[in-house]
Amino acid sequence: MNEGYFAAAYFVFWVIFFVYLIFLHWKLLQIEKGGGGP
Amino acid sequence: MKPVAVVWMTAAVLVLTSLWFIHSAPPAQAEAGAMAQKIFYFHVGSAWTAFLAFMIAAGYGMGYLVAEGKPGRAARCYAAIEVGFLFCTFVIVSGPMWAKPVWGVWWRWEPRLTTFLILWATYAVCLLVRATMDRPPVRDRVIAVYSILAAVEIPVVLASVYFWRPEAQFHPPRIELAAAFGLPLRWSMAALTVLFFTLWQLRSGVCLLEDRVR
């Protein structure tokens, strides 16, 4: 049971990290297209 | 190898080794919450990193106000806020995951949790300011002033365990750590700090590019 909380917390950490990297990549693609985005 | 690749590899090695340290560290409690307690290493490390990020943002905010017109400082100020906000979010999310098995509740309106939630909401507003204001000089000035004012909350969060009566507290005023727990904690803090600087550099560059093509 406790392993579940432990695994979930570290999973959330990696989700936040990788979603942010994807967000930054999307920003760079927007810039390449010529728009700064929000 | 490019310097940026070296920085990314350093961050990756530190984070992965910190996970190994955390996994091999003995559980601090023999009873309920033994494994969940290990959330503590990234929870505390992320809180430290968020505070560091917000202090850096306030520093660059001051720097921008002193020498206005330097977009690099404004970019670094905002980038520190945004990346710090990520770590702040992880603290908010991981806290309840640790609290439930150890304290028996997901959340309680005790001083440390409440002040930290206010801190998170304050910086969330800053992200909205960046997303909604169009004119960079005005926007950057607003964010610079905001970063300085918001940083005042950091000592409030840190001192919140002393402000209110002890019966209202869930967080201990001081954490006495045995050597077996000290190394994984310090290693995690170092790893997350390097990860922050890596993401901060990346985001600062993207901020500058955004303003250039705007």
pLDDT tens, position by position, B40-79: 889 999 999 999 999 999 999 999 999 877 888 999 999 9
Closest B-chain CA to A21: B199
Could you list the residue range(s) of the whole structural domain that residue B142 is in? 3-213
Do residues B90 and B46 lie in contact, with contact meaning Cβ atoms separated by under 8 Å? yes
The answer, yes or no, to whether residue B31 has pLDDT greater than 70, is no
Looking at this predicted complex, what is its ipTM? 0.85
pLDDT at A3: 77
SS3 state at B175: coil
CB spacing of A27 vs B93 below 8 angstroms: no
- Cα–Cα distance measured from residue B194 to residue B8, given in angstroms and rounded to the nearest whole number: 9
In tens, the pLDDT along A1-38 reads: 577 888 888 889 999 999 999 999 998 898 888 755 55
The first and second tokens of residue B162, run together, are: 């002393």
| Number of folded domains that form chain B | 1
Mutation site, B8, B37, B40, B86, interface A, largest A CB count within 10 A: B86
CB spacing of A28 vs B209 below 8 angstroms: yes
- Cα–Cα distance measured from residue B3 to residue B22, given in angstroms and rounded to the nearest whole number: 29
Higher pLDDT: A20 or B27? It is A20
Distance from CA of B206 to the nearest CA of A (A): 7
Percent pLDDT > 90 in chain B is 48
Of A5, A24, A27, the CB nearest to B39: A5
Distance from CA of A2 to the nearest CA of B (A): 5
N-to-C CA span, chain A: 42
The answer, yes or no, to whether residue B113 has pLDDT greater than 70, is yes
Chain B contact for A29 (CB, 8 A cutoff):
no
Contacts of B1 (CB under 8 A, 6+ apart): none
**Stretch B155-175: mean pLDDT, rounded?**
78
The answer, yes or no, to whether residue B178 has pLDDT greater than 80, is no
Of B38, B93, B202, the CB nearest to A6: B38
Contacts of B148 (CB under 8 A, 6+ apart): B58, B61, B62, B65
Q: How many CB pairs under 8 A join A and B?
A: 68
The answer, yes or no, to whether residue B34 has pLDDT greater than 90, is no
CA separation, residue B154 to residues B103, B119, B177 (Å): 25, 8, 23
Of B35, B89, B90, the CB nearest to A2: B35
Q: Cβ contacts (< 8 Å) between B35 and chain A: which residues?
A: 2-3, 5-6
The answer, yes or no, to whether residue B173 has pLDDT greater than 90, is no
The first and second tokens of residue B81, run together, are: 């806020």
pLDDT at B89: 96
**What burial letters (b/e) apply to B155-175, b meaning 16+ CB within 10 Å?**
eebeebbeeeeeeebeeeeee
Closest B-chain CA to A3: B35
Of A5, A12, A34, the CB nearest to B36: A5
